[in-house]
Chains A and B, each alone.
Chain A
Amino acid sequence: MAATVEGPKTRPRAQDSTSSGWFTIPTPLARLFKKFPLLTYPPNELPARSPEIREVPTLYVFISDEDALAGLPSFNPSCLKWQTFLKLVGVDFHVRPSNNHASPTGALPFLLPPSTPGNPRPQIPIPSNKLEQYGLDNAKSKLPKDPGSRLEAYQSLLDHRIRNTWLYTLYLSPANADLLSHLYITPTTSSRPVRARISYQLRHAAELEILRSTGRDAIDTAALYKGAKEAFHALDAVLSDEKWFFGSEVPALFDATVFSYTHLILHDGLAWKNQRLKEILREYPRLVNHRNRIFRRCWGAGE
């Protein structure tokens, strides 16, 4: 099969080179073309945002350009979680704004390790599920021993109850539609139909995610907020009067996860119109203080 396909392709080419002057360029034209290029410009500079030779790793997150320059927190909880964790363990890194399409796994964040001078090969990006190991390997400060299996149980509170309520509040609550479009939709495009489409897709994805997680056929907002309140209550109780979760000496990944939600819920820079989640969280001052402690530790001054 392959030979028969190859045959007719190669034969005419052989004829071209030997036979008639049909395919040879007339001499005057050839002489004219030889004068080109008239001028060769120097190569362009790489765009300012392109990866340069990096001394430090770069974390790609959802963030506005200005905030990225200042190294401020991302507005996406899962990005903020890893950003905070890396800061807590003392890894030095830059943040860069990015989006899902840029990520090898299709989800942010991911981290590009520093390029080594001797090794010209491009670095393999580290997806978020391997960031914990990366952080521990490159940690400057020592981390506490594994707090054990209780963490897993409390993690499920964050991953389901609080996350579902977060998804509802940001993506589905009509009052917060402006905030949603400010954070995720306006930066991507200026075309109105595309924006409408992206907005629809985001909402739809959020709705599906909540429905899957709750296993119900409809979203009951009262139940969602009640669930979040219970979850915050439980987190508040388990933190009690300790500085960090599970009686640890230094903050760890779980603290970063809690912070990624509490910070964004309480952050005044985000124009929340639906304030319900914020009001619920404000009832637990110990969680609010915990959030402030982490913010001070990672970003210097509190708000």
Chain B
Amino acid sequence: MNYYRSSTDPAVKTNSVPLGVSDLVGLQGLDVNDELLITTWLQYSTTPVSRTIPLRIKLHVWGPAFGLESIDAECLAAIAAFRHIIPNDAWSLIASNNTYLSPDYTLPALFHDGTWTSGYMNIISYVIHHITSYANQLADNDLTPQIEADLLAYSSFLATRGSGLVALSLYASPHAWVELTRPAYSGLLPFPLTWTIPSAIRAAAIEKAENLGMGYLAAEAEADEADAGSGTETTSTGFMRLRERLGPGKSMRPEQTAAIRFTQLATDFFTTLDDLRGSGQYLLRTSSPSSLDFLAYGYLALMNVQTPYPILATCLTANRCSIQFLQMMNAESQDYILPRREPKPRGLPTTLGIFADGAIENIAGAGESWKRWRRGGINSAEEEKAQDSTGILLGIGGVVVSLAAVGAAVLFRRLPPFGASTHRFEAPREEKGLYRFGEIGAMLDGLPMFEQPPAASSPVLNMI
């Protein structure tokens, strides 16, 4: 399974390529986007000196959906930030929809200078430290320590609470999932992957919501889905259960009951953002947008999506301050043309590999270990390589126990069923008389007329 990594890594480890014409022939690893660069270089390089190709800034993201640039909040935020800070001929936007590109299996992923950086916060910090020529467009650089602390805290708040709300609204809600989000993913992914990846993303989103203490809302949505799927509900004894419709609590759909609590959470969320922004234009009351503004834009834009039960969107619309902010961010760069590039086609083997991977992850019991084994579990950079022996012991013990169980099962299957009468089939002991003629002989042997005289076993006895 390692070929995903190896197919991307070696080609990109070189950050400065000493170029001769012979080298150019060998540059198979570069994709379509680099042809432009190479042509440019050919125009400039009248003297054959070793030059450094400015490897382009490539942003890999999830593709567009719901009329937005991307289906994912962090990708939206990254696109918005890049749109603001980098001129459109200096970077390219690739809707690759392929989390297997980056070593962290996360999008958005920035590829620059031979390194992958993934996740919005990491990308912004990478841009600030490594692509310094553009970073001064961001307000992040000159903030007081207090405001800087706010930036971090609110970013963390958005990434947790905000993503929890988005997960509930777009992923956990069964109606939104069936009618909106799953079709959107189906449009983004090639065929067999639409079976594995969206459901894995949904499971992760629901888990995330659970981790934030919003699990009870997700659980109700799940229950609702099970309900809708089976049509009729049965009691534990197998009878059809009549729906109780007594109070208002009972007559509402579970999603509606959850809606009341959900609204409360959402209102709290928007209020928190509004309190921060106050009367300022941007969230941190800076004169130009900071990375926090783009992140907030990413989440708010997804919250504004009209789902079948648009609780979140309604809350957002009701909150004038937040919706104004969203509109302002939307209007910010209307005339900017995004430097979209087509992703490299994945090829059938890669697609099938990813599909197989997703399929194995779905095997009950084994999936988790597989994922853990393949994606590394814990990578500690230094120290602590001491393998804990309990894990190994447990592993060995598990294998032994399961082997024993399998052995016992096989043995059990070979035993006659308990309580059944036993039949014994035995070959006739002696091959004498008519038995010598096989089955027919055995039948005839029963007839009295062919009865053989008892054979004398020894002549001595005969004499007595």
Q: Which residues of A contact B (CB under 8 A)?
A: 148-150, 152-154, 156-157, 159-161, 172-175, 177, 196-197, 199-200, 207, 209, 212-213, 215-222, 230-231, 233-238, 240, 274
Contact = CB atoms under 8 A, between A and B. Distances in A.
Interface in B263-277: 268, 271-272, 275-276
A218 B157 contact: no
Interface in B100-120: 104-106
Given A209-B211, A222-B381, 11 more contacts: A149-B272, A149-B275, A152-B272, A156-B153, A159-B160, A174-B388, A199-B390, A215-B204, A216-B105, A221-B379, A237-B148
A35 B441 CA distance: 80
Nearest to B103: A218
Contact of A156 (B149, B156, B380): B156
A213 B211 contact: yes
A153 B272 contact: yes
Contacts of A221: 378-381
A216 to B, nearest CB: 6
A219 B379 contact: yes
Contacts of B341: none
Contact of B157 (A156, A213, A236): A156
B71 to A, nearest CB: 15
A196 B394 contact: yes
Contact of B275 (A150, A200, A218): A150
A196 B378 contact: no
B89 interface: no
A170 to B, nearest CB: 13
Which of A159, A235, A274 is packed against the most chain B CB atoms within 10 Å?
A159
B153 A157 contact: yes
Contacts of B106: 215-216
Given A150-B276, A156-B160, A234 B152 contact: yes
Contacts of A174: 384, 386, 388
B438 interface: no
B371 interface: yes
11 contacts: A149-B268, A149-B275, A153-B156, A153-B272, A157-B152, A200-B391, A200-B394, A207-B377, A215-B163, A221-B380, A238-B146
A231 B152 contact: yes
B459 interface: no
Contact of A177 (B145, B160, B388): B388
B378 A219 contact: yes
B381 A152 contact: no
B390 A196 contact: yes
Nearest to B375: A217
B386 A237 contact: no
Nearest to B118: A216
Contacts of B386: 174-175
Contact of A240 (B104, B146, B211, B390): B146
Nearest to A218: B376
Given A153-B150, A219-B378, A240-B146, A161 B156 contact: yes
Interface in B203-218: 204, 207-208, 210-211
B185 interface: no
A156 B151 CA distance: 12
A215 B375 CA distance: 13
| Ranked 3 nearest A-B pairs via Cβ | A234-B149, A237-B149, A149-B272
Contacts of A215: 106, 163, 204, 208
Contacts, number: 115
B105 A154 contact: no
Contact of A153 (B157, B371, B376, B380): B157
Interface residues on B, range: 35 or more
Interface string B111-155: 000000000000000000000000000000000011011101110
A173 B384 contact: yes
Contacts of B393: 196
A200 B392 CA distance: 11
Which of B152, B204, B381, B386 is packed against the most chain A CB atoms within 10 Å?
B152
B206 to A, nearest CB: 10
B161 interface: yes
Contacts of A196: 390, 393-394
B383 interface: yes
Which of B204, B375, B390 is packed against the most chain A CB atoms within 10 Å?
B390
B325 to A, nearest CB: 15
Contacts of A157: 152-153, 156
A91 B120 CA distance: 44
Given A174-B388, A200-B390, A153 B153 contact: yes
A237 B157 contact: no
Interface string B73-93: 000000000000000000000
Nearest to B147: A237
Contacts of A150: 150, 153, 275-276
Nearest to B275: A149
B35 to A, nearest CB: 34
Contacts of B390: 196, 199-200
Contacts of B394: 196-197, 200
B384 A153 contact: no
A150 B383 CA distance: 37
A215 B208 CA distance: 7
Interface in B356-405: 371, 375-381, 383-384, 386, 388, 390-391, 393-394
Contacts of B388: 174, 177
Contact of B152 (A159, A172, A230, A274): A230
A152 B207 contact: no
A209 B211 CA distance: 8
Which of B157, B208, B276, B375 is packed against the most chain A CB atoms within 10 Å?
B157
Nearest to B271: A149
B378 A218 contact: yes
Nearest to A172: B378
Contacts of A274: 383-384
Nearest to B160: A156
A240 B152 CA distance: 16
A219 B149 contact: no
Given A152-B272, A153-B272, A215-B204, A175 B145 contact: no
Contact of A148 (B157, B210, B275): B275
A175 B207 CA distance: 29
Contacts of A199: 390
A245 to B, nearest CB: 11
Contacts of A216: 104-106
Nearest to A225: B381
Contacts of A231: 152, 156
Given A160-B160, A161-B156, A207 B378 contact: yes
